[in-house]
Structure 1
Amino acid sequence: MKLRTFFSIFFLLLVALAGGNLALGVFLEKAQKNLETSHRELQSLTTLAEDLVFSSQWQTRFARGYISSNDPRRVEWYNTIEDILNGKVARPKDYDSGYWDLVNGGIIPPPEKKSEGAVSIEERFLSQNVTAHELNKLKEARSFLEKVVAIERAAMHAVNGEFDDGAGTYSRKGKPDRALATKLLFSDEYRKLNGDLTLRIAQMQNLIRQRYAGRISQEQAFASQLFEANSYLNIGLFGVVVLSLIFLRNRFAVRASHLMSVVREIGSGNLAAQASVFGSDEISELATTVNTMAANLNVAFDKLEDKIKLSGKALSDLEIERSRSEKLLHNILPAAIAERLRGGEETIAEVFPEVTVFFSDIVGFTELSAKLGPHATVNMLNVLFEKFDELVEKHGVEKIKTIGDSYMVVGGVPNRDPLHCQHIADFALDAQSFIMSFAEGLSYPLQMRMGVHTGTVAAGVVGKKRFSYDLWGDVVNVASRFESTSKPDKIHVSEAVKVRLSDDYVFLDGGTVELKGKEATRSFFLIGKKTQMPGVLEFTTPGGAPDNPSRLRRDTPSFVPGFDRRA
């Protein structure tokens, strides 16, 4: 049989098997689409449940933000979240867990309060064909959410001096009570209600997942059956090909064997081998092609070897330069930011709602550096900043920059950290202890001022040729001004810092301080951790004078680290 006749028969068999394969492929694609639809519906319902979670979390943030700042925008955004859940305001586009981060950071404007197209979360669930049991869990979650909202509203009204009159309204007026508001939002009852809310949402999600598990399992089983049938059909196709190859081998055994031996020699590296096959059929044409290919490969390999030598050297040089670039990048940027730049991000800018910023500088640095001279000054700064760098690593905070004798550190950037304020406080206390110990062995006076503030910042990478990771925002300015108004060897902190740390740390009332460009504000001095000062319960001063720490409670020890009785 000639090759033409053989291939005609082979083609008919191939078309028949391919047609069956195509039909199975259509059914398999339909089954896969059904499976994808089930997964999409499951994801949609899960996402709706998550809306309740992040809405509750952001309402908590705005309520707590309002009682610490009295910013009316927090109340407005708080109400907007509730209106979106209740179907009074249309759900914005791209409304997810990061949406209010952008609004809070001023990146995007607050949502427009349009009622057109507004749908409550219950209606959205019902549109997804949920079961009665699942809907019941949603109602339970909504019930707990309403109780959480009631506590948060009571706290926000307390800050305004508005209290429940017993009829469910806040018409009873009184003195603003921030302490009561803080107590409400950090109470055991409030935490338990949030826990119950999260539990009901998790139970609802489990019910949804269980319901879809059976449906998805059936669809996967049907798709597997189709795939199995398709596999058998492919095996049939493979068998036809194998039988055809066997026929070709037996029909053209001698010439094909000789040709294969030549191909093996070429494959083993003998590119000078030539096939001696004569005739006018396809085998002879193949032999001619193989001979030509071997000759061309011989020439190509000679050229390739030269190129490999050149590319090897270039690759080695490139690797050296890459290592240098990576080392330099990690020295000037946080590791996470450096990795994002290496990953291809061109613009890195983010808003961090909760961070703590630390500033320090040396008291009388200009006069001290003039007295010591450049070499001694640089040596002193190296000792101080090397130790500070060690403390940065120890406490998991991020060094932003140094300018002369000023050292700037931030907690919660670039990796978000719920304990950012505690980590900065521990860093500041260790830095204070080191400075005071280090200064004892010097022949000249060395003291540092430190300032700490917490709040929202924007952070990002600036520069194209010389990268710099920096922070912006009012928090940075206020922290710097707390540092500049601090007393020597003291840690000067804002009231926002004290609110976050008062459970675990000891503070001295610093009285009212005037900050440049700001209204007079209360300030405090961070003294130490309560676990390290078990006898110190509080500092009391006669007549409320914050600058006279000489009178302590009876159970206060005579010495407090970082506390100078002469201050």
Structure 2
Amino acid sequence: MKLRTFFSIFFLLLVALAGANLALGVFLEKAQQELEASHRELQSLTTLADDLVFSSQWQTRFARGYISNNDPKRVDWYNAIEAILNGKVARPKDYNFGYWDLVNGGIIPPPEKKRDDAVSIEDRFLSQNITAQELNKLKEARSFLEKVVGIERAAMHAVDGEFDDGAGTFSRKGKPDRTLATKLLFSDEYRKLNGDLALKISQMQELIRQRYATQISQQQAFTRLLFTANTYINIGLFGMVILSLIFLRNRFAVRSSQLMTVVHDIGSGNLSARVPVSGSDEISELATTINAMAEDLNIAFDKLENKIKLSGEALADLEVERSRSEKLLHNILPAAIAERLRGGEETIAEVFPEVTVFFSDIVGFTELSAKLGPHETVNMLNAIFEKFDELVEKHGVEKIKTIGDSYMVVGGVPTRDPLHCQHIADFALDAQSFINDFGKEVPYPLKMRMGVHTGTVAAGVVGRKRFSYDLWGDVVNVASRFESTCEPDKIHVSEAVKVRLTDDYVFLDDGTVDLKGKETMRSFFLIGKKTQMPGILDFKSSRPAAFQSGS
């Protein structure tokens, strides 16, 4: 074969493969842009659905807030939310769940009542090209939202003494009825409507996620196919060059040897190698082509390495975030409850017939915190609550929450424990001992009240985005009231606690105590464990009446 013929065929194939490579590159770029557009559309639709969710939640908060304190700002903010949804007021920048927290806290002003660029949430959804099925779910959600708004407005008008006249307006005047308003906003119908609203939004979001999951999966498969074809073309191009060089080596020994040396360098990974170009014949043109190919490969490999590096970093970041999320979940909820949530259990609520609840707070905390200032107050609470957290782990009880200076602990929840009362008593005695020692180390008076009661509670996880494990029941209220009626540096317990612990612990009879909203109850002070108080007989002899009835 003549050299000219060879080169004609060679360059014809080279141009074809290069053109295919270029075309694939264009298609690959377009496919990547479509994939990114799908992700952006999914994110935009998710944001719109979130708008509907938190708008309903904040309207409920403002309605309930208004019926409790008649603050007119709640009504204005309530109406602002509805105006934003209906396209009568422009959606503020950075409008999310925390926006109304900032408005409520006075950090930012409420949204301006302007209609420039105002678009209703339906129109915003329609602009995203949603399907008919998704639109139906949106309409159903809006229907439930309108019913919820109707109840909320009826409740707020009832507080103002305005009632429905049967024509859809509230022109009938009457006596303000806060009880009716409260009943409306806490009725089963209202809760069911809110539940149905949340369900429809969730179903709409699931339809959107499923649609985009399929679309994105197809786009990713097409992108991988293009990348694979591009790789094969590059491999074919490289192979053709090698075969051509073998042919030329036999025809042009000196110049071909230089050409082959560079090609081998490129094949071994040295993409910076280049062929010296001299003259204007066919070999020079070939050298120029190989140099251009090496440059393209160098750029392509650099991009590939960058993508691999970014993928590795993204995976590492994802693992860190997953570990952080698991740790945060275990910090918020008991370990057993966290595992149940991770296992897919959505509603966690159960009754515990036998538990013991502990409350404590610092005597004169308001005055003390005003005297210490915020930094010193936080340091003091950290020192106390960190020690209490250690004692919680030591005695196998469960910390429920802290509110200000108040610390709440329960025994027998969520893991049922026949020795729950003993464990809470040991925790309380250790906590009392720590407070006594800690109070001697600080330059300000520090005393604490503690209350304990035993009985039946209901416990469960509340919240969707922010989880909280909490207790309900008369036992919680009674324990709190025993704490509030306790003498400083004492552990105030009910007769139910004393009955369960009388064989192993020492008590001091405190007579009866009047608890708000309850009948008069017998009360006692927990003094200590009998095995740890060798001088208890001497102490009993000094106060015989109290100890004979309380130990």
Q: TM-score, normalization: structure 2?
A: 0.49
Q: TM-score, normalization: structure 1?
A: 0.47
